[in-house]
């Protein structure tokens, strides 16, 4: 355990977050996401919700300021529906730390393509339908002592 690091962030996830550079993306995937089919760098966070991980990651992670939205979620498939409470809960978990960027929605297979190109995928215990979210990392400000 480290001071200031939420216990839901495993050593493997902390390493991935530290390795990522400006513009790199990480996918927080729900429990049904085909992560191992799409990517070789998969971190397991079984039993942990995406809301919990967003709350834990946000204090450590600068979002990319140079894109329209550093947060991307999947659109509902035609004929299906989105639960607006999922996005609201994500925005609330981030909003404790920063102004919440707009969440951009993209088509399912476009989301899968972005996941293939991401730095890593984190498999969570999230069971919310369309609960996957992509975070794009920005430049971490340097704090002078």
The distance in angstroms from the start CA to the end CA of the chain is 24
| Sequence-ordered list of residues with C-beta below 8 angstroms from that of 136, at least 6 positions apart, any chain | 23, 24, 25, 63, 64, 67, 70, 71, 72
> Which of the residues are catalytic?
22
Q: Select from 104, 46, 40 the least CA-distant residue to 70.
A: 104
């Amino acid at each position: 355990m480290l001071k200031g690091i939420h216990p839901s962030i495993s050593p493997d996830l902390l390493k991935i977050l530290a390795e990522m550079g400006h513009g790199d993306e990480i996918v927080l995937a729900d429990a049904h996401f085909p992560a191992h089919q799409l990517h070789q760098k998969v971190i397991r966070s079984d039993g942990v919700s995406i809301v919990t991980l967003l709350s834990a990651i946000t204090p450590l992670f600068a979002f990319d300021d140079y894109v329209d939205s550093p947060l991307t979620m999947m659109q509902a498939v035609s004929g299906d529906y989105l639960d607006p409470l999922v996005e609201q809960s994500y925005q609330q978990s981030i909003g404790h730390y920063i102004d919440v960027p707009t969440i951009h929605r993209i088509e399912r297979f476009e989301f899968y393509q972005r996941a293939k190109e991401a730095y890593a995928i984190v498999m969570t215990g999230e069971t919310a339908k369309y609960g996957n979210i992509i975070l794009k990392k920005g430049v971490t400000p340097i704090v002078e002592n």
